[in-house]
Amino acid sequence: MSKKDIISIDVGTSRIKIVAGRCSNNHVNIKKAIAIDTPQGCVEDGKLMFNDGKADILKQSIVQALSENRIRYKNVIFTIQSTSIIRREVNVPKVKPNEMESMIRYEIEQYLPIDLDEYIIEYKTIEENGEDKSRILIAALPKAIAEDYMSIVKLLQLEPNSLDINSNAISKLFSMKQQINDAAYNLDNTVACVDLGCSHINICIISKGLYQFSRIIQAGGRDLTASIAETFKISLQDAENMKLAEANLSKFDSGEDSDMLNETISNIVFRWADEIQKVFQFYKTRNANNHIDEIYLYGGTSNLRGITDYLSRAVNMPVKQIKTLSSLKLSNHIGAVDLENYLNSIGAINRK
């Protein structure tokens, strides 16, 4: 476990979330948490776009944010999410540690249609299944994506600590006994952590504190904005402002005051609920004992007013937005942190 002070950066399609802190024992100490706009077009599906001087623009934004907030640590983690990252769990016979690598490569060649030379392969044991089997989680990350993040680290003149994957980052936070929103988190439960972002919804299922699987749905807050712009024939910027100021799904739900704005939004969120249900269904059909107890929402779009109740009714289970985690310690001087925005960055600092 790293006990160094670290900068952890989640470069989203619309916002870059930067957390400075360190991991100690079972806590993550947070010293700074800041979010800035992602410069237009610099990130698509987790990939950095370097055309037209964008690498420099992205670097400048991060440098400015770090310097304005007097963050001077050297070690940096980037945490990313992309549909081109492949994660699979496999059950493999237990072998000696030095034989693991070649067995994993063999497994990948059997089941995944990818050219191994173009991927960085990482794996970790999720669970020992009896005497002779292990459940292994394999992640295959395109080398091209990792190299682009490395070039940004170089441009920033920082030291690379690691490159994490958002679903791995969040599952580390849900692997420990703690209070979530001031209530005990039951480690016997199966929870779905749902990151509602700008262009992606990332669903990560964690059972008894162990990562089970994750899926990305290509949908998010920008679809709401685009649909508002189309309905009201206004610019995307005006539509975004309207969404932030006025959207409220509980108004639509109550039947009173149902208006064009919330009807537009509700149509889309209803489709999201349907997609989320399909992912749950897939998980449940994999094993007769699989079930999901509750959903925790985070990410910017989890702030859409009324979305927890709306989704709870649509998928028929408890849905909460993550507001506090007792495993996090905030430095005195930073005041309140809107945690739901920073959980990928925070989880990535936890090096379990």
**Shortest CB 187 distance to ligand ATP, Å:** 26
Q: Which is nearer to ligand ATP, 104 or 220 (CB)?
A: 220
* Binding segment toward ligand ATP, per CB under 6 A, in 109-117, 178-186, 197-205, 267-275: 197-205
Position among 62, 243, 297, 322 found at the interface with ligand ATP (CB under 6 A): 243
- What is the distance between the alpha carbons of residues 244 and 89, in angstroms, rounded to a whole number? 39
Strand ranges, E, within the chain? 6-11, 15-24, 27-37, 43-44, 47-48, 75-80, 86-93, 119-129, 133-142, 159-165, 179-180, 183-184, 190-196, 201-207, 210-217, 294-298, 319-321, 328-330
* Buried/exposed 326-342: b ≥16 CB within 10 Å, e otherwise: bbbebeeeeeebebbbb
92 - beta bridge partners?
A: 134
**Shortest CB 39 distance to ligand ATP, Å:** 12
By residue count, the chain amounts to: 352
Site for ligand ATP contains 82 (CB under 6 A): no
Contact 344, 15 (CB under 8 A): no
- What is the distance between the alpha carbons of residues 315 and 143, in angstroms, rounded to a whole number? 37
Site for ligand ATP contains 14 (CB under 6 A): yes
**Shortest CB 287 distance to ligand ATP, Å:** 29
The two three-digit tokens of residue 305, written as one number: 């007013």
**Shortest CB 95 distance to Mg ion, Å:** 37
* Binding segment toward ligand ATP, per CB under 6 A, in 63-71, 84-92, 236-244, 277-285: 236-244
- What is the distance between the alpha carbons of residues 220 and 239, in angstroms, rounded to a whole number? 15
Contact 30, 19 (CB under 8 A): yes
* Binding segment toward Mg ion, per CB under 5 A, in 9-17, 27-35, 122-130, 185-193: 9-17
For the packed helices 236-246 and 221-232, what is the interaxial angle rounded to 10 degrees? 110
The two three-digit tokens of residue 96, written as one number: 């000696």
Tell which positions 327-346 bind ligand ATP, by CB under 6 A: 341
Q: Give which of 150, 174, 190, 210 is closest to 347, Cα–Cα.
A: 174
**Shortest CB 137 distance to Mg ion, Å:** 21
**Shortest CB 195 distance to Mg ion, Å:** 6
Q: How many residues bind ligand ATP (CB under 6 A)?
A: 21
Position among 197, 207, 229, 239 found at the interface with ligand ATP (CB under 6 A): 197
Q: Which is nearer to ligand ATP, 245 or 288 (CB)?
A: 245
Site for ligand ATP contains 300 (CB under 6 A): yes
Question: Which residue do the tokens 């806590």 mark?
Answer: 27
**Shortest CB 42 distance to ligand ATP, Å:** 11
Position among 21, 197, 220, 221 found at the interface with Mg ion (CB under 5 A): 197
Site for Mg ion contains 12 (CB under 5 A): yes
Q: Which is nearer to Mg ion, 197 or 306 (CB)?
A: 197
x/- site string to ligand ATP, residues 201 to 220, per CB under 6 A? Answer: -------------------x
93 - beta bridge partners?
A: 133
Q: Which is nearer to ligand ATP, 247 or 322 (CB)?
A: 247
154 - beta bridge partners?
A: none
Position among 7, 8, 9, 13 found at the interface with ligand ATP (CB under 6 A): 13
Site for ligand ATP contains 306 (CB under 6 A): no
- What is the distance between the alpha carbons of residues 65 and 300, in angstroms, rounded to a whole number? 19
Interface residues with Mg ion (CB under 5 A)? 12, 197
Interface residues with ligand ATP (CB under 6 A)? 12-15, 197-200, 220-222, 240, 243-244, 247, 299-301, 303-304, 341
